[in-house]
């Protein structure tokens, strides 16, 4: 293993060159305000005109926490497919039995759509064999005796841009996250999945089409279990990024709405990854341009290519390649190093760097770089340069996410009013009773320590529960970051659900998001203190089950 070298005089230009690159990723307060203002205008435009953003989900209420039932769910994300059996207990808790499968690259980029959906159906078949419906769960087939001969009801979370036509389906507009299946564009994902399910003769009916961010919002609202909904939105920053929020139906003119009651709502899938594809306000560096040019979807998803985990590791890789080619570092790399492979650096590497940086653990950081990049002669100066670049790239992503969340809050009008009456007034609500630690934003050393301790605890839990295999347990909204206790009445809290590896594991991601929100005049420090961001882990799968429950209830 390489040893730490402390002779910083060896290459006096290394840090200077790294700093120059890092400066290109700085997002100033003025830039933050421009992004927020532009996104508000685009959101209003998308509510009026048929754009590929601000897509109606046809979800007209959010869960109360009283919903019950057992449903199948499939969550197809940027790199994984999860198959879930979700039990809604009706007291703001649920249990999930799930399996996670890596989607093969050859079905992610393919001319025909059948290989992808045949893969999913095959995994679903194996899941049903491994996890047969236990006694007492006949309501998976329906809620009455007459419905027990109907197929199992399944909610399908499809994390790609779709124009929904109803709760039950919609049409794929385009692929992103480096997927490309031309034959699927313009088709209904639920119909394509049902075709493959029927070929295997499985007793399963795909009943709803869900978006991952919409599902995360529903999961967060269910777990919060409040009598009147304060859950405004949900954001996902993982392999991809997206957000959903609660909007007034009277504002959704693209549906032909001309009025409506003031309390009528619909959840909107913002598809914020494609906001500002014309590059009017988003920052750009040569590395951003190279990522876009080599992607499967050049010219689109420009916001996502600056924020999501799929691209942050690649940004760091390209920056490091520049330093190496300029001879700024004396590090050497094995020819098989991931440094020389497109998408060779995963965003988890950036999170690990940040955690070790907070511990000032140089020797472990050298080991990490040596092992992950097959590097030699890694010095303390190299560590500083790599950490500097990594932190700058992720901080820009977090500040862009914060600016965009500010736009959602502004558009919603939630700062100026109490939450909309979006929950069913005829449903008895059992309030969520689990203990949630109230924290201030991580602007102090104590806050950062608590956050890091929470991350460590979640990793211990993840190790013992084995999330990559089947898992079952009572959901607790871990690591809820609430406003300062007593800062405002409960009904003035703006509740946000969150999911994704960057939000969950990168130590300062939420801190930098909040910092950007404070710089937006319409939000400011007072508005930011009202925002509660709570983790809705794997919420997209549970959200699909909640949508299936809503569709069954409507039927």
Catalogue the active-site residues.
159, 174, 212
| Tokens linked to 121 | 């159906």
R_g of the chain computed on alpha carbons: 23
CA distance 385 to 13: 11
How many other CB atoms are there within 10 angstroms of residue 33's CB atom? Answer: 18
C-alpha–C-alpha distance, residues 98 and 469, integer Å: 7
Q: How far is CA 200 from the centre of its chain?
A: 32
DSSP 77: -
Helical spans, DSSP H, in 251-379: 286-293, 304-307, 309-325, 347-358, 362-373
Q: Please tell me what DSSP assigns to residue 167.
A: T
267 contact partners, CB below 8 Å, separation of at least 6: 57, 59, 62, 214, 217, 218, 244, 245, 246, 247
DSSP for 6-39, written as a single string: --TTS-THHHHHHHHHHHTT---HHHHHHHHHHH
Neighbours of 507 (CB within 10 A): 17
Alpha helices in 153-251 (DSSP H): 189-199, 212-224
- Alpha carbons 449 and 441: distance in angstroms, whole number: 12
Do the Cβ atoms of 308 and 302 come closer than 8 Å?
no
Specify whether the CB–CB gap between 248 and 420 falls below 8 A.
Answer: yes
Q: Quote the CA–CA distance of 156 and 295 in Å, as a whole number.
A: 26
Buried/exposed 200-232: b ≥16 CB within 10 Å, e otherwise: eebebbbbbbbbbbbbbbbbbbbbbbbeebbbb
CA distance 15 to 328: 9
Q: Rounded to an integer, what distance in angstroms lies between the CA atom of residue 470 and that of residue 485?
A: 37
């Amino acid at each position: 293993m390489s040893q730490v070298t402390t002779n910083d005089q060896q290459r006096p230009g290394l840090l200077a060159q790294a700093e120059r690159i890092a400066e290109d990723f700085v997002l100033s307060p003025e830039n933050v305000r421009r992004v927020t203002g532009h996104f508000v205008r685009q959101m209003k435009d998308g509510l009026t005109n048929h754009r590929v953003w601000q897509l109606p989900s046809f979800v007209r209420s959010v869960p109360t926490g009283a919903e019950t039932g057992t449903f199948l769910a499939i969550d197809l994300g940027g790199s994984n497919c999860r198959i879930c059996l979700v039990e809604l207990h009706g007291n703001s808790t649920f249990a999930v039995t799930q399996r996670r499968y890596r989607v093969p690259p050859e079905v992610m980029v393919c001319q025909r759509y059948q290989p992808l959906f045949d893969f999913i159906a095959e995994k679903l078949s194996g899941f049903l064999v491994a996890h047969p419906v236990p006694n007492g769960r006949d309501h998976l087939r329906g809620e009455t005796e007459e419905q027990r001969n109907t197929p199992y009801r399944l909610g399908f979370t499809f994390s790609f841009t779709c124009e929904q036509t109803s709760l039950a389906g919609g049409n794929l507009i385009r692929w992103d996250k480096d997927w490309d299946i031309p034959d699927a564009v313009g088709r209904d994902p639920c119909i394509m999945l049902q075709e493959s399910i029927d070929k295997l003769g499985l007793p399963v009916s795909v009943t709803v089409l869900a978006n991952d961010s919409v599902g995360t919002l529903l999961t967060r609202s269910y777990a919060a279990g409040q009598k009147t909904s304060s859950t405004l939105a949900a954001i996902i920053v993982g392999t991809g990024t997206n957000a959903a929020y609660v909007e007034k139906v009277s504002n959704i003119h693209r549906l032909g709405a001309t009025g409506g009651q003031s309390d009528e709502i619909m959840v909107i899938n913002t598809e914020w990854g494609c906001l500002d594809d014309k590059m009017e306000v988003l920052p750009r560096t040569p590395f951003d341009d190279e990522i876009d040019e080599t992607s499967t979807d050049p010219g689109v998803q420009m916001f996502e290519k600056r924020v999501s985990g799929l691209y942050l590791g690649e940004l760091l890789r390209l920056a490091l390649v520049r330093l190496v080619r300029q001879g700024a570092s004396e590090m050497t790399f094995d020819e098989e190093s991931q440094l020389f492979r497109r998408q060779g650096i995963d965003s988890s590497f950036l999170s690990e760097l940040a955690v070790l940086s907070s511990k000032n653990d140089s020797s472990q950081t050298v080991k990490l770089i040596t092992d992950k990049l097959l590097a030699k002669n890694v010095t303390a100066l190299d560590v500083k340069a790599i950490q500097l670049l990594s932190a700058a790239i992720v901080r820009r992503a977090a500040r862009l996410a914060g600016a965009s969340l500010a736009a959602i809050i502004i558009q919603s009008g939630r700062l100026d009013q109490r939450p909309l009456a979006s929950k069913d007034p005829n449903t008895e609500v059992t309030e969520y009773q689990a203990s949630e630690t109230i924290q201030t934003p991580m602007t102090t050393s104590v806050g950062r320590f608590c956050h890091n301790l929470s991350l460590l605890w979640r990793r211990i839990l993840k190790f013992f529960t084995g999330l990559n295999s089947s898992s079952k347990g009572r959901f607790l909204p871990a690591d809820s970051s609430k406003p300062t206790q007593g800062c405002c009445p409960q009904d003035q809290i703006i509740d946000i659900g969150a999911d994704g590896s960057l939000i969950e594991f990168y130590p300062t991601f939420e801190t930098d998001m909040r910092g950007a929100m404070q710089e937006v005049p319409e939000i400011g420090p007072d508005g930011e203190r009202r925002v509660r961001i709570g983790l809705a882990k794997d919420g997209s799968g549970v959200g699909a089950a909640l949508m299936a429950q809503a569709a069954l209830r409507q039927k």
